[in-house]
Structure 1
Amino acid sequence: MKFTMFKKETNDKKYHENPYRAVNFQRDKFGNLLCPNGRRFRFKCKRPVYRNQYGRTEEFYECESCEGCQHKSECCPKASGNRTIRMNEELTTIHQEVISNLESIQGALLRMNRSIQAEGTFGILKWDKSYKRLFRRGEKNVILELTLISCGYNIYKYHNKKQRKELAA
């Protein structure tokens, strides 16, 4: 499945190749991140992501010194001191794997098939049956309404299949 920034990541060349994105930073021989001006980012700490139920953590890095840097206006226009970045190496590698899988021929075919399957049902409900919004509030009531709509749709499909069999016989 596509992740949140998939379209921007793959279609927007300016965003993807931006040298000031932390993902595009080079590393020195010790594994430290280097900004486009060649300044080193030091590891500060590793913290869990706030309100993340899956236990994801982020690494925090801070530039050794951003004073007098000619790239500061493009690199970190909002920061008053040194630039700090949050990075999740595991998530970055997963994103790269997802991009390579989805841009392969098989991935493109699977995406196309998935979009056709989902849109067919919702298209019928929205256009043919004029069902455009939920009318109930609350989680239990919404589940009830969606269940009734699903049952009605399945009965509609069953009826059409039965009618086709009778015409063929």
Structure 2
Amino acid sequence: MSASLRLLPAQPLTAEAFAPYGQVIECAGHASYAVNEGSSQRFSDLAQLAADADGRLALSIFRARRRNAPYRLNCLERHPLGSQAFVPLDRQAFLIVVADEAPRAGRPAPESLRVFLAEGGQGINFNRDTWHHPLLALADGDFLVADRLGPGDNCEPVDITGWQLGIEQP
């Protein structure tokens, strides 16, 4: 890795730390109740999925390939027309990179970048307009993705290669 590359530490993913960006999707810490004649436990309303009136929510599968260290950060994106959720179907860990918007800039603020490590039983839902890096899977596997489909441009990318940032090995 380049000597000029600044490495960001990954912190454990918790609902409290991730709250400004969205929700952590996991059973831990949530109430449940029996369904299906007692053969299942239901954990309800784990994420607040959103889409504008012109779009619709859809479920997709992303078949992700493992990203190898060094984890160099090249772009951020946000979805202004709806939320976006990722749940690993094979319980694989993944990295999440988020950023706040710079005041009066309409772009992410480099100094606000945060990195989270999602353990295999955790998924996430990004709030609408949350700046984030594309999926950084730490193992090959499938992810269930819930996001908005429909007319309009729901992906606003920005190139951050010039920021010279990477992620410390988790």
TM-score range, shorter chain: under 0.3
Structure having the higher strand fraction is 2
Q: In terms of Rg, which structure is larger?
A: 1
Taking structure 2 as the reference length, the TM-score comes to: 0.23
Higher RCO by CA contacts (8 Å cutoff, separation 6 or greater): 2
Name whichever structure is richer in helix by fraction: 1
